[in-house]
A and B are shown apart, each in its own frame.
Chain A
Amino acid sequence: MSELSPTLVDLNSYSFTGRQSPELPDFSSLSDESKHELRMVGVDVDATGERAGTFVQFDHSTVHCKSSGKGVEVLGIRQALKKYDGLPEYFWKAMDPEKDDFTRTAAKEELHGGYFIRTEKGVKVAEPVQTCLFIKGQNVGQNVHNIVVVEEDSEVHIITGCATSHDVTSALHLGISEFYIKKGGKLTFTMVHNWGEDVMVRPRTVGIVEENGVLQNNYVLLKKVKSVQSYPTIYLNGAGAVARFNSVIVTPTGSHVDTGNRIVLNAPNTRGEIISRTITTGGTIVARGEIIGNAVPARGHLECKGLILGGGLIHAIPELQGCVTGVELSHEAAVGKIAQEEIEYLMARGLDEDEATSTIVRGFLNVEIMGLPQELRESIDRIIAELDASDAM
């Protein structure tokens, strides 16, 4: 079991104070490297695409925050706490600060920022809201708290990119996220991670979905990171609520990623789906998933599929817990390799072995089902293509 225990974090080795950055009116003053890092996680650095709002955090400061004002409010969390008298309905309401060492640390340490995003009732926000949590300094401990409120019958897509500057190897990211999806609301939440090699990542996420609300969650992690440990939990508390998780994870040698999702079906006619596609090229992946059925009729399906390419370890742990008669939960898990038959099929069409392999890998990861904006999809495709060129493939 020792090789699977999560990498320990020494909270004292990170600095939680003193890394302030000035406000940025736009991104033109950033170095080319930083721009590149931000682009890789979906930030529209060049302002070519449409965005309904933008929030950017550097280390301990919120450097950029604005919304186009069309049906969605985007604020820094500290500003929101001031404006809304401490956000008594939302701040630390879905998440228990006593959950673990990281939530306790997050509650105790100085709050560096994070975003507050709230839609207007009934408004379907057409363009995505982009947010970015960026670590620029070595050994920085970043402590952010994010709150998303999707009001009744409204819709929004939030793209969150988390990254470290190319010269930062070691850092700690603590992120508390609380999602509140009201009656008939829909949140699509896409998170793209691109951390440094020695970065420790401990996000803690809880969401509550009311009647007929929908959460579509996408998670993409393709680059090396020392350790990620996350396990978002979503409570489907209203009848007809739906949660879907799609994760695409690649771990090179030296990465340790322990991640999964938990969906709790607390009301009739709720549905939960967890799909993960993992590839290791030498690192360790613990692919978890848990669906708990507390009400009927309710359905849940969990699918963890992993490929081991060139060493590494994948530990798939799908769990189902049915607590009432009539609940329907299922899972399928597979850990394997690329089938020779598939490679040969493509080679018979004239693709060489590398082309065939990368075509199969791209299909396996199936980022397409996430329905991401084109530029983000292209950036992800480029990372997958780079991955194919490495020796591990």
Chain B
Amino acid sequence: MLQIENLHVSIGDREVLKGINLNIDEGETFILFGPNGSGKTTLLMTLMGFGGYTVTAGKIVFKGVDITEMPTYERARLGIGMSFQRPPTIHGLKTRHLVSMCARGREIDVDGMAKTVNFEDFLNRDINSGFSGGEIKRSELLQLMAQNPDLILFDEPESGVDLENMVLIGNTARALLDGAEAPSPETCMRDLRRRNKTSGLIITHTGYILDYVNADRGQVMYNGVLCCDTRPTRPRDILDHISKYGYKECIRCLN
């Protein structure tokens, strides 16, 4: 699904990503750990193609297409979606309108989708205007449901979210990644699994999201490079190690 090869990215004169190699397969969910300022968000922004993030070397391939120089909206149309951590308020743009635009002409049931994230009361409000942490996440998930991407980038899905919202957000994220359909007489579970090929790349600090999504692999980003590429790469183990020993082991490991 996604191949990142020797990716170097600068913001201004400062090199933030220093040679990232990462593959994410179809249907795979990958967890990215790392301390503040290590370059995790920069990686997501670069994958989305935002201004200010200059790729100085390496390439990004998505679904077999080199997207390194592709404009953001083409990446989105090709199937990359992102849940923003701090999305901007756009005055006068109703949430309902944005959600329906995310579907790009496909028929969707905005009200039904909003109901699953308990967001019906926000549809007629300006997008992100005065939204709390949990409301922002639910709004982002609602937009992603409408957009229906093949690769979802989550930037800290648990930041600023209370416990009750965390359950809803975690379960919704899982449904997006695993497919929310239940098996029926026409379709068995095996076929549903085969059909659902949504991949995920999730940044987390706390690891709460691991209680909900089926994380396949994980790595730590430290100072612009990925480490923990030898076993164990199981996200739970990495999280345990970080909680026990902190990130200082990463320094030892990288040197």
Interface residues of chain A, those whose CB is within 8 Å of chain B, are: 339-342, 344-353, 356, 359-360, 362-366, 368
- CB<8 Å pairs between A and B, sample of 5: A349-B101, A350-B73, A350-B147, A362-B93, A364-B92
Stretch of B76-84, B206-214, B226-234, B243-251 at the chain-chain interface: B76-84
Q: Which of B67-120 contact A (CB under 8 A)?
A: 71-73, 76-77, 81-82, 84, 87-88, 90-93, 98, 101-102, 104
B126 touches A363 (CB 8 A): yes
Q: Contact between A366 and B91 (Cβ–Cβ < 8 Å)?
A: yes
B93-A363 in contact (CB<8A): yes
Bound-complex Cα distance A237 to B87 (A): 45
Apart from A346-B101, A350-B73, A360-B93: 19 A-B pairs, beta carbons within 8 A: A342-B88, A344-B51, A344-B72, A346-B90, A348-B50, A349-B98, A350-B76, A350-B101, A350-B102, A352-B73, A360-B90, A362-B93, A363-B91, A363-B92, A363-B93, A363-B126, A365-B92, A366-B92, A368-B92
Whether A353 contacts B92 by the Cβ 8 Å rule is: no
Number of B residues near A (Cβ < 8 Å) is 24
Residues on A with C-beta less than 8 A from B81 are 348
Which residues from A are CB-within-8-Å of B71? 347, 352-353
Partner of B88, one of A345, A350, A359: A345
Decide if B48 is an interface residue (CB 8 Å cutoff).
Answer: yes
Give, as a whole number of angstroms, the nearest-CB distance from B191 to chain A: 28
| Contact between B88 and A341, CB atoms less than 8 A apart | yes
Q: Does B143 contact A (CB under 8 A)?
A: yes
Q: Are B102's CB and A349's CB within 8 A? A: yes
Provide the bound-state CA to CA distance between A359 and B99, in Å: 13
CB atoms of A345 and B102 under 8 A apart? no
Nearest-neighbor residue (CB-CB) of A356 within chain B: B73
**A344 near B92 (CB under 8 angstroms)?**
no
Q: Which residues of B contact A349 (CB under 8 A)?
A: 76, 98, 101-102, 143, 147
Please state if B76 and A348 are interface contacts (CB–CB under 8 Å).
yes
Give the chain B neighbours of A348 by CB distance below 8 A.
48, 50, 72-73, 76, 81-82, 84
- With the chains together, A342 CA to B81 CA distance in Å? 16
Residue of A nearest to B143 (CB): A349
A359 and B93: CB pair below 8 A?
A: yes
> Which chain A residues lie closer than 8 Å to B104 at the CB level?
350
Q: A349-B143, A359-B101 are contacts. A342–B90 as well, Cβ < 8 Å?
A: yes
Contacting residues, chain B, for A352 (C-beta < 8 A): 71, 73
B81 to chain A, nearest CB (A): 8
- Grouping DSSP codes into helix (H, G, I), strand (E, B) and loop, the B interface class, with mixed when no group exceeds half, is mixed
Assembled-state Cα–Cα distance A360/B71 (Å): 19
For the complex, what is the distance from the CA of A347 to the CA of B81, rounded to whole Å?
10
B:130-169 near A, CB below 8 Å: 143, 147
Q: Mark B46-80, 1 if CB is under 8 A from A, else 0.
A: 00101100000000000000000001110011000
Which residues of the partner chain B approach A340 to less than 8 Å between Cβ atoms?
A: 51
Minimum CB–CB distance for B57 against chain A, Å = 23
Q: How far is it, in angstroms, between the C-alpha of A346 and the C-alpha of B90 when the chains are bound? A: 10
Q: Which residues of B contact A350 (CB under 8 A)?
A: 73, 76-77, 101-102, 104, 147
> A339 to B50, alpha carbons, bound, how many Å?
13
Q: What does the 1/0 interface line of B183-221 toward A look like (CB < 8 Å)?
A: 000000000000000000000000000000000000000
* A347, A364, A365 — most chain B CB neighbours (10 Å): A347
Which residue of chain A has the shortest Cβ distance to B128 in the bound complex? A345
- Known contacts A340-B51, A363-B126: A347-B92 contact under CB 8 Å: no
Q: Which of B82, B88, B92, B101 contacts A351 (CB 8 A)?
A: B101
A353 touches B73 (CB 8 A): yes
Within 8 Å by CB of B87, from A345, A351, A356, A359, lies A345
Cβ contacts under 8 Å, B90 to chain A: 342, 345-346, 359-360, 363
Contacts A359-B101, A363-B93 given; indicate if A347 touches B88 (C-beta within 8 A). Answer: no
Q: In angstroms, how far is the closest chain B Cβ from the Cβ of A299? A: 21
Q: Least Cβ distance of B210 to chain A in Å?
A: 25
Closest to B149 in A: A350
Most chain A beta-carbon neighbours within 10 Å: one of B87, B88, B92, B126: B92
> CA separation between A360 and B128, bound complex, in Å?
14
What is the minimal beta-carbon distance from A160 to any residue of chain B, in angstroms? 24
Chain A hits for B48, CB < 8 A: 344, 348
Chain B residues positioned under 8 Å from A346 (CB to CB) = 90, 98, 101
Closest A residue by C-beta to B51: A340
Assembled-state Cα–Cα distance A314/B77 (Å): 37
B residues less than 8 Å from A368 (CB atoms): 92
Least distance between B19 CB and chain A CB atoms (Å): 25
User: Of all chain B residues, which has the CB nearest A365?
Assistant: B92
CB–CB B72/A347 < 8 A: yes
Least CB distance, B78 to chain A, in whole angstroms: 9
List the A side residues contacting B126 at CB < 8 Å: 363
If A363-B92, A366-B92, A368-B92 touch, does A347 touch B76 (CB 8 Å cutoff)?
A: yes
The chain B residue sitting closest to A364, CB to CB, is B92
A364: which B residues are within 8 A, CB to CB? 91-92
Give A338 Cβ to nearest chain B Cβ, in Å: 10
Give CA–CA (A102, B93) in the complex, Å. Answer: 40
Chain A's nearest CB lies how many Å from the CB of B153? 9
Partner of B92 from the list A341, A345, A356, A362 (CB cut-off 8 Å) is A362
- Chain B, residue nearest A369 (CB): B92
A364 to B51, CA, bound (A): 23
Closest to A362 in B: B92
Q: How far is the CB of A380 from chain B (nearest CB, A)?
A: 13
Chain A residue numbers with a CB within 8 Å of B76 are 347-350
Contacts of A344 in B (CB 8 A): 48, 50-51, 72
